[in-house]
Amino acid sequence: MNNGDHERAASTCRRLLESSPGDVVTMMSLAISTCNLGDRTAASDMFRSILKEDSSRECAVSVISEMLSCGLDRDAMSLCSGLERQFPKEPMLKRLRGNMEYGQGEYLKASVTYAEAASLNPHNPVLWHSKGMADEARGDLESAEDAYNRALLLDQGEPEYWISKASVQERSNDRYGAIESLNRAIELDPRSVYALVRKAVILQASSRDQEALFYVRQAAEIAPKDVRIMDMESDLLTRIGRPDDAERVLIARISSEPSETATIKLARLRLSGGDRDLS
């Protein structure tokens, strides 16, 4: 949406509030539109005024969530602290605070906050996954894998949880375990480009280039314009002795997004072929 769209949305919300003052849904929409128009101070005041109309726990979570979506992190953090005192048993408020701490790079704080949230609702896999992400970010891979495992005990059908576990396993040099976790992610979401590429990276690091190429090509079918995948495919084709195919991929890559590195690789490939035309 452009500014004109946000202006029209805000104007519509104001008219609706004239006939239905205190309507929380309309107030929320007006606050979001106001923030999108760049008036962050007014938007923050509007979000706070919503809580005067609806002081429920559910509304508190929605307001903080929308403030974060609008980029009002500082104001959201200040407001969240007060709401946590008002609703000390609400895990989602703690998760939102953890998200803010994580976004600020305070990973230890975030881990503690997510743990507090999970203690209030231990059957919510999202909370355990969030804790795992914070633990992984601060380098505590053992705690991260434990948190991811807890999330998976509660929900084995979420590909992101398997991908996260694979990340920790890969960093811990457990390539076999990482591949197994990525296999589960790919079974659940065969179009997960990230899972396909990460599996290819691990296979390539294990000198299993043919297998790696298979998964890179699957990723390329889903994201044919992704130059990072093109780069990886050309490198693998070169490694397994298929320079003509590597050259074709590099030409397509350079056409999609010019790159000095890719151009040098192409020149080297042509030179190595002896009679290849450099033009």
Alpha-carbon 104 to chain mean position: 16
Q: Which residues, in sequence order, are CB contacts of 245 under 8 Å at separation 6+?
A: 237
The answer to whether residue 275 scores a pLDDT higher than 70 is no
Q: Do 46 and 23 meet the contact criterion of CB atoms below 8 Å apart?
A: no
> Stretch 238-242: mean pLDDT, rounded?
94
> Stretch 31-46: mean pLDDT, rounded?
94
* Per-position DSSP letters for 44-74, written without gaps between them: HHHHHHHHHH---HHHHHHHHHHHHHTT-HH
The answer to whether residue 276 scores a pLDDT higher than 50 is no
pLDDT band at 57 (very low <50, low <70, confident <90, very high): very high
Task: Give the C-alpha separation, 177 to 182, whole Å.
Answer: 9
Task: Give the C-alpha separation, 278 to 267, whole Å.
Answer: 7
Query: For the chain, how big is the Rg over CA atoms in Å?
Result: 25
Give the pLDDT of residue 270: 87
Q: What percent of the chain has pLDDT over 70?
A: 97
> Stretch 144-151: mean pLDDT, rounded?
98
Average pLDDT of the chain to the nearest whole number = 94
Write down the pTM of the prediction: 0.86
The answer to whether residue 28 scores a pLDDT higher than 90 is yes
> Stretch 108-135: mean pLDDT, rounded?
98
- Helix pair 24-36, 57-69: axis angle to 10 deg: 20
